[in-house]
């Protein structure tokens, strides 16, 4: 963003709003609060004792608006957000105090109310991490229903999501050099039947054409009360979050205010958050890990978000400057998606004071054990891996800070939440619970679990039993209650925490006249976790030129991240007994190809090896590297090399000598 745009962001951020006073560090009560609850939860018995007090008696906030007001009450003059224009420790931050934050959220809610937004109306927004994005998220939830949308999607995808949500008001970034959000808004506007108004952030607006300036619209509103007079209930809908992959049919998860407040409360509980603590923040608000796990939890607990530029972690400076930023802002938690955590390992730490770090945490996709080990060794902190989904309002399980951390496990359910491993029959119906260490489908229940998708057509198979969401993931629970993810029953490819639905890509391949069968799966990748790769079986007598199918799918797949990194032809596609493509076999083949390539330097040294990948009763899938003809005295060196090469991958591996 340009310097002028940053100046406009500063002006629109509300940094001149007065108010506050008082509240000099006063503590939130231990019960009926959002933060400052730090019990020792070192065993299942400790958790059971903690849960003897009903959750409803522990929480005072019915809504996200109430939750932020609780956070602001700790110290209204403390910073709620420090916005860094270019993710640099040398940036002069735009500081927004809690008094200014709650005032601006209230004004935004009132502006939306003036535009006709009621409790059942949807406010969608497409914004980078500028201050107005935070005001819009919570102002929209106070006035109606928020719908954060990924602005990096293609226009047709955006239009589908906005139309599915019945968007009434769209808030979007105005024309800014180097950013195409406004161009996309103009392309989709005519397709949205329910749209009544567009609010332009960092722009003058054009009211004659239904476009309003965010700054002008908000500035004239009162900041001390909601003009709607609305009393927001916990069961009221707060937001619709898009899920199910960015290339699939729009699937909107319905969150209540109660769902979201629970997520904020439990994250503060598990990460032992303190009022006044900083967190380096760079995740997008259209992802629940950003908007709820980090933003709402921080703001409701009286902490401070240090926002790493409008692009967040996508700004290369965010990782490049990571230790400078830690040294200056002293966060206790280093939290992000696995790709970011892995990238920090390449940044030297010598000469920096990183003593503030107490915990590293991540999720969105599995964290390779090697990354967890390296982070633990480098910072002498536990790595608390989390697991959840948009349908559980984000974090549902976590490695507990007060229990032994088992790397590769996603820990235990958070307090007041539950996990079962269940059997699902061929018709998708519940067929019983699994035994200890038996692999099955992960089902989850608790205060964060949603009640269903916006459209009923998506609810078929969403729950294994009432209140128990079907995760679509495979896992097991060991004899000590630790949860292990062993595979995925759903077909989504997760590339760096980004969901990709294979179906539309497969449809593109099917449309090629030479293709009889097509399947897209996730190929293991040391950085992104998975990359999409396609397998095809050609029609009898048909052939294709090298690169022909790759060009075909690239030209017809609008989202670059979803384009397969390779298209692999097979003589015969593996099928199940009922004629469906057996994707686990393709995943094993892809892993075998990747691992063989990674270990190729061994062959240059005269070492003979073979890689096989297949099902495993405990871990789901395991890669076995069999090394032949190596004298026993040389085996430790070879084994160490193999582990070093394959440890960055999530898929487990073992080494055998023949």
Mean pLDDT of the chain: 90
In a domain, 275, yes or no: yes
Q: Are residues 502 and 611 in the same domain?
A: no
Structure tokens at 111: 């502006």
Question: In the prediction, which pLDDT does 28 show?
Answer: 33
Question: In the prediction, which pLDDT does 14 show?
Answer: 45
The residue out of 473, 488, 503 marking a domain boundary is 488
The secondary structure element, H or E, covering residue 535 is: strand 529-538
The mean per-residue pLDDT over the stretch 266-280 comes to 95
Q: Are residues 153 and 239 in the same domain?
A: yes
Q: Are residues 22 and 45 in the same domain?
A: yes
Alpha-helical runs (H) found in 227-356: 257-270, 288, 297-300, 316-320, 322-329, 338-344
Q: Is 369 helix (H, G, I), strand (E, B) or coil?
A: helix
Structure tokens at 534: 């396609």
Q: Are residues 252 and 326 in the same domain?
A: yes
Q: Which has the higher per-residue pLDDT, 101 or 488?
A: 101
Range in 18-27, 33-42, 234-243, 311-320 the model is least confident about: 18-27
The set of residues, in sequence order, having a beta carbon less than 8 Å from that of 134 and lying 6+ positions away, is 81, 101, 105, 285, 295, 305
Q: What's the pLDDT band for 258 if we cut at 50, 70, 90?
A: very high
d(CA 2, CA 86): 10
Q: Are residues 364 and 505 in the same domain?
A: no
d(CA 302, CA 73): 8
Residue-wise pLDDT tens digits, 497-546: 777 878 788 888 988 989 888 889 999 999 888 999 999 999 888 899 99
The residue out of 488, 515, 535 marking a domain boundary is 488
Burial of 404 (0-12, 13-18, 19+ CB in 10 A): exposed
The mean per-residue pLDDT over the stretch 73-89 comes to 96
Q: What's the pLDDT band for 587 if we cut at 50, 70, 90?
A: very high
Residue-wise pLDDT tens digits, 122-174: 999 999 999 999 999 999 999 999 999 999 888 988 999 999 999 999 999 99
In a domain, 164, yes or no: yes
Range of the domain at 323: 3-389
Q: Which has the higher per-residue pLDDT, 599 or 22?
A: 599
DSSP 199-213: EEETS--BGGGTEEE
d(CA 29, CA 185): 45
| pTM, rounded to two decimals | 0.81
Is residue 435's pLDDT more than 80? yes
What CA–CA distances, in Å, run from 652 to 357, 366, 397, 405, 471? 29, 12, 21, 18, 22
Q: Are residues 501 and 465 in the same domain?
A: no
Four-point Cα dihedral 560, 561, 565, 569, nearest 10? -80
Q: What's the pLDDT band for 35 if we cut at 50, 70, 90?
A: low
In a domain, 127, yes or no: yes
Question: In the prediction, which pLDDT does 506 show?
Answer: 86
Q: Are residues 476 and 384 in the same domain?
A: no
| Pairing mode, strands 359-362 and 383-389 | parallel
Question: In the prediction, which pLDDT does 10 show?
Answer: 46
* Chain centroid to CA 635: 41
Cβ-contact 286, 136 below 8 angstroms: no
Q: What's the pLDDT band for 302 if we cut at 50, 70, 90?
A: very high
In a domain, 397, yes or no: no
What is the tally of structural domains in the chain? 4
The residue out of 586, 611, 627 marking a domain boundary is 586
d(CA 157, CA 560): 13
Question: In the prediction, which pLDDT does 18 show?
Answer: 30
Structure tokens at 475: 């896992």
Q: Are residues 424 and 309 in the same domain?
A: no
Range in 237-251, 363-377, 464-478, 519-533 the model is least confident about: 237-251
Cβ-contact 624, 345 below 8 angstroms: no
Q: Kindly report the CATH number assigned to the domain that includes residue 196.
A: 3.40.50.12780
**Radius of gyration from C-alpha coordinates of the chain:** 25
Q: Are residues 568 and 636 in the same domain?
A: no
Q: Are residues 476 and 368 in the same domain?
A: no
In a domain, 411, yes or no: no
Q: What's the pLDDT band for 249 if we cut at 50, 70, 90?
A: low
Is residue 243's pLDDT more than 60? yes
Q: Are residues 647 and 533 in the same domain?
A: no
In a domain, 591, yes or no: no
d(CA 346, CA 538): 43
Residue-wise pLDDT tens digits, 181-230: 999 999 999 999 999 999 999 999 999 999 999 999 999 999 999 999 99
Q: What's the pLDDT band for 77 if we cut at 50, 70, 90?
A: very high
Question: In the prediction, which pLDDT does 328 show?
Answer: 98
Q: Is 413 helix (H, G, I), strand (E, B) or coil?
A: strand
Q: Kindly report the CATH number assigned to the domain that includes residue 552.
A: 3.30.300.30
What CA–CA distances, in Å, run from 322 to 281, 332, 379, 592? 11, 14, 13, 35
Q: What's the pLDDT band for 348 if we cut at 50, 70, 90?
A: very high
Is residue 5's pLDDT more than 60? no
Question: In the prediction, which pLDDT does 4 show?
Answer: 43
Q: Kindly report the CATH number assigned to the domain that includes residue 424.
A: 2.30.38.10
Q: Are residues 548 and 651 in the same domain?
A: no
The mean per-residue pLDDT over the stretch 240-260 comes to 83
The mean per-residue pLDDT over the stretch 320-341 comes to 93
Residue-wise pLDDT tens digits, 356-406: 999 999 987 778 788 888 899 999 999 999 999 999 999 999 999 999 999
d(CA 489, CA 305): 36
In a domain, 219, yes or no: yes
- Positive or negative CA dihedral for 131, 132, 135, 141? negative
What CA–CA distances, in Å, run from 482 to 43, 76, 376, 386, 467? 12, 40, 19, 12, 22
Question: In the prediction, which pLDDT does 489 show?
Answer: 65
Question: In the prediction, which pLDDT does 17 show?
Answer: 32
Q: What's the pLDDT band for 578 if we cut at 50, 70, 90?
A: low
d(CA 628, CA 657): 6
Closest CA to 182 of 219, 209, 211: 211
Four-point Cα dihedral 623, 626, 632, 636, nearest 10? -30
d(CA 161, CA 149): 8
In a domain, 475, yes or no: yes
């Amino acid at each position: 963003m340009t310097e002028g745009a940053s100046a406009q962001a500063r002006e629109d951020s509300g940094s001149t709003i007065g108010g506050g006073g008082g509240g000099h560090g006063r503590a939130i009560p231990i019960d009926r609060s959002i933060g400052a609850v730090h019990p020792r939860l070192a065993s299942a018995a400790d958790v059971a004792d903690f849960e003897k007090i009903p959750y409803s008696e522990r929480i005072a906030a019915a809504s996200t608006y109430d939750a932020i007001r609780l956070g602001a009450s700790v110290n209204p003059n403390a910073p709620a957000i420090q916005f860094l224009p270019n993710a640099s420790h040398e940036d002069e931050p735009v500081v927004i105090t809690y008094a200014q934050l709650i005032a601006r959220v209230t004004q935004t809610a009132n502006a939306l109310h003036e535009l006709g937004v009621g409790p059942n109306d949807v406010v969608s927004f497409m914004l980078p991490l500028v201050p107005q994005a935070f005001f819009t998220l919570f102002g929209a939830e106070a006035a109606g229903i928020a719908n954060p949308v990924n602005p990096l999607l293609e226009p047709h995808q955006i239009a589908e999501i906005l139309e599915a949500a019945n968007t009434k008001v769209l808030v979007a970034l105005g024309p800014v050099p180097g950013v195409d959000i406004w161009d996309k808004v103009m392309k989709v506007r005519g397709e949205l039947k329910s749209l009544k108004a567009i609010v332009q952030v960092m722009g003058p607006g054009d009211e004659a054409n239904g476009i309003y300036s965010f700054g002008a619209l908000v500035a004239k509103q009162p900041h001390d009360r909601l003009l709607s007079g609305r009393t927001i209930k916990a069961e009221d809908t707060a937001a619709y979050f898009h899920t199910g992959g960015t290339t699939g049919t729009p699937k909107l998860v319905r969150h209540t205010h109660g769902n979201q407040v629970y997520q904020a409360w439990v994250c503060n509980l598990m990460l032992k958050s303190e009022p006044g603590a900083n967190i380096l923040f760079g995740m997008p608000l259209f992802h629940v890990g950003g908007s709820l796990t980090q933003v709402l939890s921080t703001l409701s607990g009286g902490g401070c978000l240090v926002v790493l530029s409008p692009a967040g972690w996508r700004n290369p400076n965010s990782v490049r400057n990571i230790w400078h930023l830690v040294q200056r802002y002293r966060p206790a938690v280093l939290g992000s998606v696995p790709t970011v955590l892995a990238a920090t390992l390449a940044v030297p730490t010598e000469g920096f004071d990183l003593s503030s770090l107490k915990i590293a945490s991540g999720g969105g996709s599995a964290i390779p054990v090697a990354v967890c080990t390296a982070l633990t060794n480098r910072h002498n902190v536990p790595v608390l891996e989390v697991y959840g989904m948009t349908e559980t309002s984000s974090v549902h399980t976590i490695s507990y800070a007060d229990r032994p951390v088992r790397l590769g496990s996603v820990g235990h359910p958070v307090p007041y939440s539950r996990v079962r491993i269940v059997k699902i029959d061929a018709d998708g119906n519940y067929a019983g619970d699994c035994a200890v260490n038996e692999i099955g489908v992960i089902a989850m229940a608790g205060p964060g679990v949603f009640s269903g998708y916006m459209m009923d057509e998506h609810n078929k198979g969403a729950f294994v039993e009432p209140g128990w969401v079907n995760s679509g993931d495979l896992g097991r629970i060991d004899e000590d209650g630790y949860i292990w993810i062993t595979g995925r029953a759903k077909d989504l490819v997760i590339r760096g925490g980004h969901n990709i639905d294979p179906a539309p890509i497969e449809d593109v391949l099917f449309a090629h006249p030479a293709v009889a069968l097509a399947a897209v799966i996730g190929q293991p990748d040391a950085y992104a976790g998975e990359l999409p790769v396609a397998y095809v079986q050609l029609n009898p007598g048909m052939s294709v030129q090298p690169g022909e199918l790759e060009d075909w799918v690239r030209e017809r797949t609008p989202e670059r991240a979803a384009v397969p990194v390779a298209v692999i032809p097979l003589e015969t596609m593996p099928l199940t007994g009922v004629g469906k493509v057996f994707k686990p076999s393709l995943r094993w083949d892809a892993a075998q190809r990747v691992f063989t390539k990674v270990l190729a330097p061994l062959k240059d040294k005269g070492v003979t090896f073979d890689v096989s990948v297949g099902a495993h009763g405990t871990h789901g899938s395991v890669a076995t590297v069999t090394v032949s003809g190596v004298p026993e005295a040389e085996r430790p060196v070879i084994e160490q090399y193999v582990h070093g090469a394959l440890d960055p991958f999530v898929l487990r591996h073992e080494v055998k000598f023949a």
